[in-house]
Amino acid sequence: MWRDRDFRRLWVGQTVSQLGEQASLVVLPLFAVLTLHAGAGQLGVLRAVGQAPILLLSLFVGAWVDRWRTRTLMVVTDAGRALALGAAAVVGLLGGLGLPALFVVAFVVGALSVCFDVAYQASLVRLVRRDQLVGGNSALEGSRSAAQIGGPALGGALVSVLSAPVAVACSAVFFALSFLSIRRIGRRESVPERPERPPRVWQRIREGLRFVAGDTSLRTVCLASAAFQFFFAAVMTVYLLFLPRDLHLSGAAVGLALAATGPGALLGSLLAARLPSRFGHGAVLVSAAALGDGVFLFVPTLHGPSAATVCALLAVNFVFGTFGQLVNVTVMAVRQTATPAGLQGRVAATINCVGMGMTPLGSLLGGFLAQAWGTRPSLLVTAVGMLLSPVLMALSPLARLGRTLPAADPDQAPCL
């Protein structure tokens, strides 16, 4: 697979795109908090605006991806994100980037990221053989983990040492590099043939929704993902206020703490290649979710900007990254195995919409709680809420999945 030039181009493009996305997720909130002095409610709104496209667009994007060439969609979205962040960097350097403009940039980048993320997941199925999916997913998830190491640290350091506009410009450069790599993919995609009278987009969306609702494992994945994403978005909104304002950490220290998720995610990717086949997919999902989510209960107990505090944050994020990535890779294997080829885009988009679609509401909740109760009590309450996700998995048939996953029914013929 690594001798395949087109796969390498996809991998390189996805890697730098993820690096730019991870950097921007830290740069934009830190710019709002440290430069524009945004309050808790304003930060919650900023994060919600950037996450709203997941809820608004995911289902439509999934229907489009199943009929379009993913390479074209990825190239267009890379170019759009590079232009949006590049324009924001220029306006920021001129001193004219305020909160309203930041909201617009966050929404545009979020909308284009939804398109890219669904497209690259579907592109792998079309680019490599079915027996190469595990290796391909491991490579792409490994690069996403590497981006989680470099992106937050780089974004936080640039905001702290240089300026927020420079950090925004760096994110734009990463998307431009992804554009250059992915557009060089030469292989023509094997897009499923369209019928003479293709169904309307709503019919294709309903088919994806019905498939997920009718599969017990995928239905549980949706519910558990929704619970996790809702409370995790609330946690992160409070977290990004708690670190600089209550613990008095610099932007570089915040970036370093968040970057510890990356090495943990690399370890989680390695564990995902062994543990499910040894202990069973269901047991691994439930236990990893409980450990990864539960570690955030320690964060509200921290005080002051000491070295011990930074080390504790590094440990928390490392543990979260390890078990969170173990859950992510295992869930992706469950989804891809249970889904026919012609439904891959729609099923991925449906799960993203139901799960990630809760993040805007979670971000708003985090901002509201931090403003009403303060950051420390809000962190504790939202961290407890994250444990709802492993509870839902433990009470469902998903927890009983064994070492071997059941394959999708090859006779299913989805609408295109």
Q: Which residue in 127, 132, 8, 18 sits closest to 77, CA to CA?
A: 18
Q: Residues 6 or more apart from 112 whose CB is under 8 A from it?
A: 77, 80, 81, 84
**Per-residue pLDDT, 291:** 93
Q: Residues 6 or more apart from 169 whose CB is under 8 A from it?
A: 85, 86, 89
E strands within 294-377? none
**Per-residue pLDDT, 415:** 44
Sign of CA dihedral 103, 108, 109, 115: positive
**Per-residue pLDDT, 319:** 92
**Per-residue pLDDT, 153:** 66
**Per-residue pLDDT, 288:** 92
Options 3.40.50.720, 3.40.50.280, 1.10.1240.10, 1.20.1250.20; CATH for 5-185+201-400 is: 1.20.1250.20
Rg, the chain, Cα only: 20
**Per-residue pLDDT, 413:** 45
**Per-residue pLDDT, 175:** 93
DSSP H or E segment with residue 41:
helix 40-65
**Per-residue pLDDT, 380:** 92
Does residue 81 contact residue 19 with C-beta atoms inside 8 Å?
A: no
Q: Which residue in 258, 268, 269 sits closest to 235, CA to CA?
A: 258
pTM, two decimal places: 0.68
- Say how far apart CA 171 and CA 152 lie, in whole Å: 11
Across 25-41, b (16+ Cβ under 10 Å) vs e yields: bbbbbbbbbbebebebe
DSSP H or E segment with residue 144:
helix 133-161
**Per-residue pLDDT, 391:** 93
DSSP 406: P
Residue type, 139: A
Does residue 62 contact residue 349 with C-beta atoms inside 8 Å?
A: yes
CB-CB neighbours of 162 under 10 Å: 12
Place of tokens 């996305």: 21
**Per-residue pLDDT, 384:** 93
pLDDT in tens, the chain (416 residues): 677 777 888 888 888 888 888 888 778 887 777 777 777 778 778 878 887 887 777 777 766 766 677 778 888 999 999 999 988 888 878 877 788 888 899 999 988 988 888 777 767 766 666 666 666 766 776 677 667 666 766 777 777 777 777 888 888 898 999 999 888 887 776 555 555 555 566 677 777 778 887 778 788 888 888 899 899 989 988 888 888 888 888 767 777 787 777 788 778 878 887 888 788 888 889 999 999 999 999 988 888 778 888 889 999 989 998 898 888 888 877 877 777 766 766 777 777 777 777 877 888 888 889 888 888 899 999 999 999 999 999 988 888 877 776 655 544 544 44
